[in-house]
Structure formats: structure tokens, C-alpha cells
Amino acid sequence: MHIKSIRIYSDRFPARDCYPFNLEIFDKTKSLDLTRPVAFFIGENGTGKSTLLQAVAKRCGIHIWRDDEGYIRRVQHSSPYAEQLYRYVQVEWNGERVKGSYFDAEIFRYFAECLDAWAKPNPALYQYYGGASLVSRSHGQRHIQYFGATYQKKGLYFLDEPENALSPRKQLELLKILKRASETGQVQFLAVTHSPILLSLPGAAIFSFDDIPVREKAYEDTDYYRLYRDFLNNRDQYLKDL
């Protein structure tokens, strides 16, 4: 375990009428205790999961890759405080700080293209990411190639919906990668996901952002598990209700 708690100082928020400081969940959730090597953030869209994940990563000094042109366009159409939550978040480290990475499927191609540019004069860089260009493969293949190569090293890793480009079989492959890495005692993951496959990871903590304040839930008590289970067991009824 590299970080053992996250604390949100809502009393210091600079505003209350714009995102993300207008979310009740950040006002009512004072802290999250991280006692397991893998923690998942779950909840409906817009509940603040990815916003908090990014804030914690920035507070930990983890670089977040971004396409600058796309980033500027998003900021122009969002709250002026959209990416400022990290200023009001504190992280308690368990000993020395470690390096890590932040994965976001939306901006991963930008990173992969940068890697190709760096590798032109120094092809040896590819050895850290499976030995070949990430861009030359499909979305799902390049993501798995990156996960498998990166998460073998000691570190603190953030993943924002890593299942986006993955088939169910590839999600199972990622599940194995997370399990093996977390069992080494050298790796810690914080991840936002909507995947019931990934959530099934034995021993993982699941924090629900559908509850205010955020609270930990058992896998079988999550809406993800129950909805997928009920749909697969009673598909005709769900389709009839459409």
C-alpha cells in the first residue's frame, strides 16, 4: 500500500455554485480509507468519480497526459474550477512516495503517438511497452499491451474506465493483470469502472458514489452486479419493458 487515505477539505472550496464544488458528495464525504491494494470507484455518470480520481492523481504528483487542443476546448465549455479539486484534497502516504501513471482511454492515443515520436531516434523505448508501437494495434490490443508491460513495476496506478475498448475476454485478461500485480505488495490501483467483470477482483474495495457520503459496498450489493445478473437471467422481461 502506497497511500492509505484521501481527505476532502470541502470547507475550503472557493465556490459552491459550479462543478465540481457544487456536488453534495464532495461536501459530505470527508475521507476515504484505503486498506486494500485495489480500490474501485463506481456510480452513475456525473457523480464525481473521475473528477476525484484525477484530483488524487494530481495531488500524488502523477502526470496526466492530455491532447492540449482537446483539453483547451473542454475547458472553454466547462466550469473554471473543473480541474481544481486537487487543491482541496490531501493524500496520506504510507511511507515513501512512489511513481506511477494515469490511464484514460480518451487520451491514451495521444500518449501512444508521443511514444512513437520519441522512439524514432531511440527504438529501445518500445521495450517498456511490449516491444512494439502501441498505435499499430487495435484499441483493445494496445491497451492490454500497455497494462501488461506497465503494471509489472512498483508504483501507484490510476485507471479511468480501462474497460472502454476491451471485449469481455480482454477484460478478463486485465483482471488477471490486476490480480497478479496487486499480489506482489509493490503495486496499488485506484480505478473508476462500470465493468462487473473488473469489480469481481477478489479482495478489492468498491466505493459507491451513488451513496452520499461515499461508502464501501460488497460486490453482490452493487447495482452493476445486480443489473447484469437480472438482465442475463430475465432478458425477455427487460426487452419487453423497453
Order of strands, edge to edge, in the sheet holding 89-93?
31-33, 3-8, 89-93
Residue 34 near residue 202 (C-beta atoms within 8 A) = no
By the 10 Å C-beta count (0-12 exposed, 13-18 middle, 19+ buried), 237 is classed as: exposed
According to the model, what pLDDT value does residue 137 have?
Answer: 61
According to the model, what pLDDT value does residue 143 have?
Answer: 86
According to the model, what pLDDT value does residue 213 have?
Answer: 96
**Letter for the amino acid at 172?**
L
According to the model, what pLDDT value does residue 130 have?
Answer: 66
What three-state secondary structure class fits 13?
coil
Residue 94 near residue 3 (C-beta atoms within 8 A) = yes
According to the model, what pLDDT value does residue 138 have?
Answer: 62
Grid coordinates in use for 151? 503494471
> How far, in Å, are 132, 190, 206, 211 from residue 217 at the CA level?
40, 15, 6, 10
According to the model, what pLDDT value does residue 149 have?
Answer: 87
Nearest CA-CA partner of 172 in 183, 185, 163: 163
Going residue by residue through the chain, which has 242 residues, state the pLDDT in tens, using 9 for 90 and above.
899 999 999 999 998 889 999 999 999 999 999 999 999 999 999 899 999 999 999 999 998 876 654 444 444 445 667 789 999 999 999 989 999 999 987 776 666 666 667 667 877 766 666 666 666 666 678 888 889 988 989 999 999 999 998 999 999 999 999 999 999 999 999 999 999 999 999 999 999 999 999 999 999 999 999 999 999 999 998 898 77
According to the model, what pLDDT value does residue 64 have?
Answer: 86
Which domains are assigned to the chain? 3-113+154-241 (3.40.50)
CA distance 69 to 214: 34
Grid look-up 475550503 returns: 12
